[in-house]
Amino acid sequence: MGELRVRSVLVTGANRGIGLGLVQHLLGLPNPPEWVFAACRDPKGQRAQELQNLASKHPNLVIIPLEVTKPASIKAAAASVGERLKDSGLNLLINNAGMLVYKTLDTETQEDMAQVYATNTIGPLLLSQEFLPLLKKAAQGSPGSGLSCSKAAIINISSVGGSIKEVHMWKAAQCVSYRCSKAALNMLTKCQSLGYREHGILCAVFHPGWVQTDMGNTAGDKPPVTVDESVGGMLKVISSLSEKDTGTFLDWEGKVVPW
């Protein structure tokens, strides 16, 4: 597996957890991207302090305001990224932002179902739609006919919790809205892989492992996987993806996850 070489990448939910880890790893690559767009809700706020520190040291890091449940915010983010990239496209879109609500079959509400679906499923759909012209431009500008993440790709961060076959950790946490939103994100990714293949865009969905983040830590015991391990693993796998991998569901170690 080679190391990831990509000219431009955008990560959502980049101010903490796995998103922040992805940005740190991308900046630390031997051949880092020319542009790392780190999208978060409040770039100037306290919660983006680590990103601001990184941006002061890395001129290739640009912090972009983005609330993934707001179409106007997504449009503004795409416009701002497009302006910076000028004539080139965006190679890699990583839809990482997500939320989890601990509810059961009995306690799940209409509001939670709608909010979690808006964040985890509709957000990635709208982002992919708005960034499609930039992804297509990147694909057209890259040599070679096969699909790859250095050419043009959408990577959606899902969860084994959304696997209908595994229904992972059901006894520990039912999290119905989360499971449904991630199962739908998995299907969205499959649809994107079928629809965007002709444009030269690879689409895949990842389970990052059970990871030591604010979200991962709320699940009870200490998660077994560190952010560094998860992100390092995913970027390695991402760098190795080719035509045959579009439309697949993989984990951070490259193993296929059942749908």
Q: Which residues bind ligand NDP (CB under 6 A)?
A: 13, 15-19, 40-41, 47, 66-69, 96-99, 119, 157, 159, 207-208, 210-211, 213-216, 223
Q: Of 21 and 32, which has the nearer Cβ to ligand NDP? A: 21
Q: How far is the CB of 17 from ligand NDP (least distance, A)?
A: 2
Q: How far is the CB of 84 from ligand NDP (least distance, A)?
A: 20
230: amino acid identity, one letter? S
Give residue for tokens 């076959």: 165
Backbone angles phi, psi at 61, to 5 degrees: -100, 125
State the Rg of the chain over Cα.
17
Q: How far is the CB of 14 from ligand NDP (least distance, A)?
A: 6
Q: Of 89 and 98, which has the nearer Cβ to ligand NDP? A: 98
Q: Of 147 and 173, which has the nearer Cβ to ligand NDP? A: 173
Q: How far is the CB of 47 from ligand NDP (least distance, A)?
A: 5
Q: Of 55 and 138, which has the nearer Cβ to ligand NDP? A: 55
96: amino acid identity, one letter? N
Q: Residue 229 class from Cβ within 10 Å (0-12 exposed, 13-18 middle, 19+ buried)? A: middle
Q: Residue 59 class from Cβ within 10 Å (0-12 exposed, 13-18 middle, 19+ buried)? A: exposed
